[in-house]
Amino acid sequence: MSSSAAFLAALGLSASFLPREILAQTEAAGGWVPELAVQLAGAAWIAFALVNWSARGTLLGGIYGRPIGMGNFAHFAIGAITLMKNVSNAPDCWMLLTVTAGYTALAAWFGYTLFGSGPKKP
């Protein structure tokens, strides 16, 4: 949960404060609408990071932690699929490759935790 919170916080803070630079790196069209979309995504990432940081000591397989785990799994799995589908559009974009790797790793971890034999309470 801590690594997920740190990853999302880094994405969220970057998107909130550097939307023009992110759009320039990805060669996306500028303007206020794409910048607004990047900043709103940053706000969502920061909020998710706060949820994950708050829940870092809970057991994800239990009845109270399962909704947090399911939300994280859905977010990272859908994001990983979407990113993998679009990574071929910019194969030399290190930022896109890094985010794709992070999303894929976290999707696998949350999937294992929820549906596999994942971590158990000691």
Question: What pLDDT, on the 0 to 100 scale, is given for residue 100?
Answer: 93
Segments in the chain forming alpha helices (H): 2-17, 19-25, 32-54, 66-86, 94-115
Question: What pLDDT, on the 0 to 100 scale, is given for residue 120?
Answer: 59
pLDDT in tens, 60-112: 767 778 889 899 999 999 999 999 998 888 777 788 889 999 999 999 999 99
Residue pair 110/73 in contact (Cβ under 8 Å)? The answer is: yes
Compute the distance between CA of residue 103 and CA of residue 4 in angstroms, rounded to an integer: 9
pLDDT in tens, 9-65: 999 999 999 888 888 877 777 677 888 888 999 999 999 999 999 988 887 767 778
**Mean pLDDT of all residues belonging to the chain:** 86
pTM: 0.82
